[in-house]
Amino acid sequence: MGKRRWGDRRDGTLLRDIDAMHYVMPLMYPNRCDNEAYMTMRIRLDECEEYIRKKNLENPEAKLSLFQVVIAAVLKTIWLRPHMNRFIANYNMYQRNDVSAAFTVKKTFSDEGDETLARIVAEEGDTIDTLNQKIIEQIQLCKTGTDASTDAINVIKKIPGKHLIGAIARFLDRHGWMPKSVIATDPYQCSVVLSNLGSIGLNIGYHHLMNWGTTSVFVVIGKKIKKPHYDSDGNMTMRKELCISCTIDERISDGFYYARTLKLMKKLMEHPELLELPIEQEV
C-alpha cells in the first residue's frame, strides 16, 4: 500500500480512475442492500475430501476441515481477483487495504450457546497450512473468551439515547471513522463474511448484504449432498457435492468479472492442492 492521500480511508484507498459507469453507480444506488447479485454453484468433493483425509493423516494436530478449505479458497480468490475486495462507502469506491474473512463461532451447539465473532487476515506468503492455523487459533480464542467488538458493544448498551447513538454510529461508519475497538472483529468490516450452514445440517440459502460496514461479499456453505452424474454413454453415478451461494455488491465490478471469479473459486475448491501455493501466486 502506498502513501495515504486525501480522500483515502484507514481501511481503504480511494479509487480515483474508475470508469464513468462505476463512478455513477454509487450516486444512483447508494445502498448496498439494493445492489445484490446472487449466485450459486456446486463443488465436486471427491478430490477435496481425499485431500483433507491425507492432510489430516500427515498432521492430525492441525486438523483440516472442509470449512477451512473453503475459507482458504475464498481468500486466495479475493487476493487474485482484487475487484472482489472493493467496497463503496459515502458514494465513493475504495480498494480495501487487507484481505480478510469473518465468520461466526458458536461456543456450544445448543439453543443457549453464545455466539462470538472470528476474523482472520491473509498475508503475503500464506498457504492453506498457515491459514488453517490462523483459523484454529481464532476458533480456540472465540470459545474461551469474548471478542473485542462484543466487549465494546456491551459498554454501548449501557449508554442512554440509543437513537442518537445509532445515528452517530452510522455517520462514523459511512466515513470510516468508527473506533477500532468497536469494529475490531466486526464481520461487516471484512472482505468476505462466511456462514457455514452445513455444519448445522442446513442447505444453502440467500443471505443479504449489510448497509452497515464495508463487506461486499457474503458466502454461504450448505450441507453435502449426493447428485446423479451421467457420462457420454448415459451411465449414471452418484457424486458428493457441496452447494455454495455468493451474494455480491454488483456495483464493485461487472458480470464477466464475477463469472471468472466464481470459476477460479470452484477450481481451487475442487483442486485444493493449489492452495499450497503462496496466496499471491497465480494458478
pTM of the model: 0.89
CA torsion, points 271, 277, 279, 283, in degrees to nearest 10? Answer: -60
Q: What is the pLDDT along the chain (283 residues), one digit of tens a residue?
A: 567 889 999 999 999 999 999 999 999 999 999 999 999 999 999 999 999 999 999 999 889 999 999 999 999 999 999 999 999 999 999 999 999 999 988 665 555 556 677 899 999 999 999 999 999 999 888 777 655 556 666 666 677 777 788 888 889 988 888 887 777 778 899 999 999 988 888 888 889 999 999 999 999 999 998 888 888 888 888 889 999 999 999 999 999 999 999 999 999 999 999 999 999 999 9
CATH of region 12-147+185-272: 3.30.559.10
Task: Compute φ and ψ for 47, nearest 5 degrees.
Answer: -70, -40
